[in-house]
Amino acid sequence: MALAFRQRIFFILVALTAAPTALAVVGWALAVRTVAPSAGARVALEEVAASARQLIEQMDTTRLTARERVAFRQHLEQLSNSVTLARRAETYLRYYAGGFAGVVVVLGAFAVFAGVRMAGHLSRQLSRPIDELVGWTRLIRRRMPLPAGPPTRGAPEFEALRQALRELATALDAAREKELEAERLRAFREVARRVAHEIKNPLTAMRIGVDQLRRSAGQADGPMAMAVEVLGAETERLERLAKEFAEFGRLPEGPKSEVDLVDLLVDLGKSAVPPGVEVSVRANGERCTILGQYDPLRRAFANLLRNAAEAMGGRGPIDVGVDRDGEGVVVTIADHGPGIPEDLRQRVFEPYFTTKRDGTGLGLALVRQTVETHHGTITVSETPGGGATFSIVLSTS
């Protein structure tokens, strides 16, 4: 069975600490082995001294000459000194070896104790943050929130790794939400294409029938003429609805070209709003162009201007601002109507969501689709003094 990460680190650190102690013990053993022959030499000197004493007892010194007696006496003194030195050396070596062994044992025990404590501390410092991060990966896989409490102790690098993992989890959640939203939009577009196709087939026959009824009724008044007008108005509404569904069901296509947003918005301010609405475009004298598709952008900005005019009841000013912001262009369209409640500001861009009685809920969804196709973003906020302000950020490339 494989050991846990903490246990592996613990045993490795203990082994690194125990190795020097083992080497010290081996060195002590070798030193004792080296000292042992000295004890054998002292025993040999003792035997020589004993034989010398026997020689002296049996030897008649009276027959020796004075010179021989001096030499004999010197030999005895040197032998006695050698035996004394050997005894002292043996005693010193015995105490030295014992003391060295005691020091090695004490230091070895201390080193092992310190190594075990240090190994435990380091293994905890390494294993706890890693175990915590491994647990975080499981939470991310299960799409559960990461804990927000104080971090487990560890090196500063682990805190940087925790922060990076939090940012990764946030980015992953955002990517998941974006993918879900994209999947929903794909499903909505597919439904819109099918609905538009199913509406167009009978709508053509209905328009032909209404035209025939209108020609048959002529200029006559009465219930028949009123019914023809109602049918004509409803078929026109169905045609607009089918057109909106068809536009929402397909992404903008075709080659891109340079689009001057200032000229486009000035032109729409004259043609896309009722006469009672005054559109003022502020651009600070700059020429703001982007690389995009003209027709989808024109429909998107026309939709925003019409919505602003309808919100003000067909009368009032609309303030349009065009400014450069780094590598992009920011367009703001502010009306002075009732505004949009804060809890509905994100939902207004959802397909089929509308607050109008006869709305389809595809207008702002089409606007967002066009903006995102041009790698931009759109948000809505409150206009100072009342009203709604739509902010569109488009890339210039």
Local confidence pLDDT in tens for the 397 residues of the chain: 566 656 666 777 677 666 666 766 666 666 555 555 555 555 555 666 677 666 666 665 556 677 877 777 787 777 777 777 777 766 766 676 667 667 767 777 777 777 777 777 766 767 777 778 888 888 888 878 888 766 656 666 677 788 888 888 888 888 887 787 777 777 777 777 777 767 777 777 787 887 877 777 666 566 777 777 777 777 877 777 777 777 666 666 667 888 888 899 999 988 888 888 899 999 876 778 888 888 889 888 998 998 899 888 888 899 999 988 777 899 999 999 888 888 888 888 877 677 766 666 677 888 888 888 888 899 999 998 889 999 999 987 6
Q: Which residue has the tokens 């005895």?
A: 76
Spatial distance between the Cα atoms of 302 and 153, rounded to a whole number of angstroms: 58
DSSP-assigned beta bridge partners for residue 379: 391
Spell out the domain ranges in the chain.
Answer: 5-141, 157-249, 257-395
Contact 148, 119 (CB under 8 A): no
3-state per-residue secondary structure call for the chain:
CCCCHHHHHHHHHHHHHHHHHHHHHHHHHHHHHHHHHHHHHHHHHHHHHHHHHHHHHHCCHHHCCHHHHHHHHHHHHHHHHHHHHHHHHHHHHHHHHHHHHHHHHHHHHHHHHHHHHHHHHHHHHHHHHHHHHHHHHHHHHCCCCCCCCCCCCCCHHHHHHHHHHHHHHHHHHHHHHHHHHHHHHHHHHHHHHHHHHHHHHHHHHHHHHHHHHHHHHCCCCCHHHHHHHHHHHHHHHHHHHHHHHHHHHCCCCCCCEEEEHHHHHHHHHHHCCCCCEEEEEECCCCCCEEEECHHHHHHHHHHHHHHHHHHCCCCEEEEEEEEEECCEEEEEEECCCCCCCHHHCCHHHCCCCCCCCCCCCCHHHHHHHHHHHCCCEEEEEECCCCCEEEEEEEECC
Please give the pLDDT value at position 151.
60
Q: Which residue has the tokens 């004259």?
A: 270
Please give the pLDDT value at position 13.
67
Please give the pLDDT value at position 319.
92
Contact 333, 385 (CB under 8 A): no
Alpha-carbon distances, residue 158 vs 133, 151, 165 (angstroms): 9, 9, 10
Spatial distance between the Cα atoms of 128 and 6, rounded to a whole number of angstroms: 8
Spatial distance between the Cα atoms of 279 and 268, rounded to a whole number of angstroms: 9
Q: Distance from CA of residue 24 to its chain's centroid?
A: 50
Strand 377-382 relative to strand 388-395, pairing: antiparallel
DSSP-assigned beta bridge partners for residue 279: 318
Spatial distance between the Cα atoms of 185 and 193, rounded to a whole number of angstroms: 12
List the one residue out of 126, 97, 100 whose CA is nearest residue 5.
Answer: 126
Q: Which CATH number fits domain 257-395: 3.40.190.10, 3.30.565.10, 3.40.50.2000, 3.30.1950.10?
A: 3.30.565.10
Contact 205, 262 (CB under 8 A): no
